[in-house]
Structure 1
Amino acid sequence: MFLINGCEQNMLAASDRATQFGDGCFTTARIIDGEICLFAAHLARLQEACHKLLIPFENGSELQSEMKMLAQGHSRGVLKVIISRGSGGRGYSSANCHNATRILSVSARPDHYDRWRQEGITLALSPVRLGRNPLLAGLKHLNRLEQVLIRSHLEQTDADEALVLDSEGWVTECCAANVFWRKGDVVYTPRLDQAGVNGIMRQFCIRMLAQSPFSIVEVYAGLEEVMQADEIIVCNALMPVIPVRACGDTLLSSRLLFDFLAPLCEHPN
């Protein structure tokens, strides 16, 4: 089911800047028993992205009502919200854009996440590197061609997810998830001020770890540092936390960090 500007339809104007330029942002939230997990954080993400992308969005109350309405009646599901700058002229100028477009949809939560949680996943190093751009770093904007290419290469391997470096060689994220690794009592996660997506679940995990016996550090780290970890986990708003059983040829069996975070992330608020 799609809602476009409050109307149930699946047709978007060809002139919309989402299709013309990828001019917009999005968020993807988990639904549990009709409720949206981390609802306020997803709204804040959209507001921050619109602010940084200079998209005037004044329909916040309508958006909240539509999100809640679509989530109702779903015991488990995925809610996706896209905000586009709307329709305008042919060129890059946004001077003729007067109303942002909001696109909402609900789909089933992938069943394989439950299997991944039990069995753990494998990571393969992606040959695709993320471009560094501090202006857009952290945002979940609509320009996802890097992730499309990463996924295409991943599907040529037997791995479940890809470990992705940026153009300088720093570990940044996975194709569709953020990454944490533990060495002793210290938990590391990549800094995302140059590239990558600052995921909602990543933010939640950092908050939980800051109140825990673990130390949490955001770093620029090379592949060799991650490969020396005692444990690696990945996360996103839908999974929400998954253990890694192998990264390339390196096998991992510890679940100390996973066992701490998994119960906290199951019904976050």
Structure 2
Amino acid sequence: MWINGVKQTELSARDRAVQFGDGCFTTAAVVNGQVVMLAAHLQRLKDGCERLLMRIPDLQQLAKEMQQAAHGQAQAVLKVILTPGAGGRGYSRTGCTMPTRILSLSPWPHHYAALQQQGVVLNTSPVRLARNPLLAGVKHLNRLEQVLIRHHLDQTGGDEALVLDTNGTVVECCAANLFWRKGNTLYTPRLEQAGVDGIMRRYLLAEMAASGQTCQLIDSHREEVLNADEVVICNALMPVLPVRQIDDVSFTARSLYQQLRASCPTMEVS
């Protein structure tokens, strides 16, 4: 782990990440010593800082630190956290003069390879996401809802969760975004009220648009997803996985999965 460019594991208890969950983060794939989609991850961090009214760190310096962390790694996961730093009184950031940069590496999730073959089982989570347009889309550090979603999911044996908001609208999974197909029409949830606008979601939407394919961003209920011909999930590490079951409903089609997988960056070690 590196904190502000120094290899260490100690963070001030006064840092606003500790005090208030004040900050944002991104999780990137490292393959063959390179950060996959580095520019997109830097843009996400910049966007997160702007949305949270945080000072943006030197992105060239951050990119260099990310590349240094990735160097020599065949496959790994790189997490980057940005916070306003330590200081301030109460909720005020006054006195926070130096943003904190935290980089950490963790092992590659090899179970994704098996899930590509067998498909993912989603269980509808009893935990609903609060609707909050001010923070919707941002990967901020306040992830208690996801912690509770994962806790419930761990009791079920499912691979991932189908997550709704407090209005019953389908939003995402615990740690992934969601696409589905009905006939030739593609859908993904709008994220204007809740959820995380993931790196891979952005990438796939851009790839579809570039190829002239339309994906409708909609507010839908669980029943519409269960009525789909095919469902896939994605994040920056998977990068896309087919869904074979949601609760007691099964899916067998994989044409959308094959299409999206072919357009994704490779995660294979050379």
Q: Where on the TM-score scale, by shorter chain, does this alignment land: which range?
A: over 0.9
Q: Does 1:245 align with 2:239?
A: no
Instruction: Look up the SS of the partner of 2:264 in the other structure.
Output: helix
Residue 213 of structure 1 and its aligned partner are, at CA, apart by 6.3
In structure 2, give the amino acid aligned to 1:196: G
Q: Distance in 2 between matches of 1:47 and 1:210?
A: 24
Shift of 1:38: 1.1
For residues 246 and 240 of structure 1, the distance between their equivalents in structure 2, rounded to whole angstroms, comes to 19
- Name the CA distance, whole Å, in 1 between partners of 2:161 and 2:96: 37
Give the Cα separation in 1 of the matches to 2:57 and 2:44: 15
Q: Give the structure 2 partner of residue 37 of structure 1.
A: 36
For structure 1, which segment, 259-268 or 180-189, has the greater mean C-alpha deviation from structure 2 after superposition? 259-268
Retained in 2: the 8 A contact 1:190–1:221? yes
Q: Which amino acid aligns with 1:175?
A: C
Quote how far apart the aligned CAs of 1:89 are: 2.9
State the secondary structure of the residue aligned to 2:12.
coil
Question: What letter is aligned with 2:131?
Answer: R
CA separation of 1:125/1:16 partners in 2, compared to 1, >3 Å: closer, same or farther?
same
Map residues 76-115 of structure 1 onto 2, 5 A cutoff. Answer: 76-115=75-114
TM-score (norm 1): 0.97
**Alpha-carbon separation, structure 2, partners of 1:88 and 1:266:** 40
Offset of 1:62 from its aligned partner? 1.4
Q: Does 1:196 align with 2:195?
A: yes
What residue in structure 1 maps to residue 21 of structure 2? 22
Q: SS where residue 201 of structure 1 aligns? A: helix
Which structure 1 residue ranges, 5 or more long, are not aligned? none
> Which residue number in structure 1 is paired with residue 3 of structure 2?
4
CA deviations over 1:15-34 (Å, ceiling 9, x no partner): 00000000000000011111
Match of 2:122 in 1: 123
Match of 1:179 in 2: 178
Corresponding residue pairs, total: 267
Q: Please report how far the alpha carbon of residue 265 of structure 1 lies from its aligned counterpart in structure 2 after TM superposition.
A: 1.0
The equivalent of 1:163 in structure 2 is 162
Per the TM alignment, residue 248 of structure 1 is displaced from its structure 2 partner at its CA by: 0.9
Distance in structure 2 (CA, Å) of the matches to 1:88 and 1:194: 31
Secondary structure of 2:241 counterpart: strand
State whether residues 185 and 213 of structure 1, in contact with CA within 8 Å, keep that contact through their aligned partners in structure 2. Answer: no
Letter aligned with residue 8 of structure 1: K
Where in structure 2 are there 5+ consecutive unaligned residues?
A: none
Deviations 1:69-113 (A, max 9, x none): 111111111111000110013400011111100000111111111
Per-residue Cα deviation, 1:225-262 (whole angstroms, up to 9, x for no partner): 00000000000001100000001111100000000011
What's the counterpart of residue 264 of structure 2?
265
Aligned to 1:67: 66
What's 1:234 paired with?
233
Q: Is the 8 A contact 1:121 1:246 kept in 2?
A: yes
Displacement of 1:211? 3.2
Amino acid at match of 1:231: E
Aligned to 1:132: 131
Which residue of structure 1 lines up, in the alignment, with residue 47 of structure 2?
48
88-97 or 181-190, larger mean C-alpha shift: 88-97
Q: Secondary structure at the match of 1:77?
A: strand
Contact 1:185 1:214 in 2 (8 A): no
Range moving further from structure 2, 190-199 or 50-59: 50-59
* Alignment partners' CA distance in 2, 1:204 and 1:84: 26
SS in 1 for 2:46: helix
The CA RMSD measured in Å over matched residues stands at 1.1
Question: Equivalent residue of 2:49, what SS?
Answer: helix
Range with greater deviation from structure 2 (102-111 or 205-214): 205-214
Cα distance between partner residues in 2 of 1:116 and 1:165: 23
Q: Would you say the 8 A contact 1:186–1:214 is kept in 2?
A: no
Mapped to 2, the partners of 1:70 and 1:40 lie a distance apart of 16
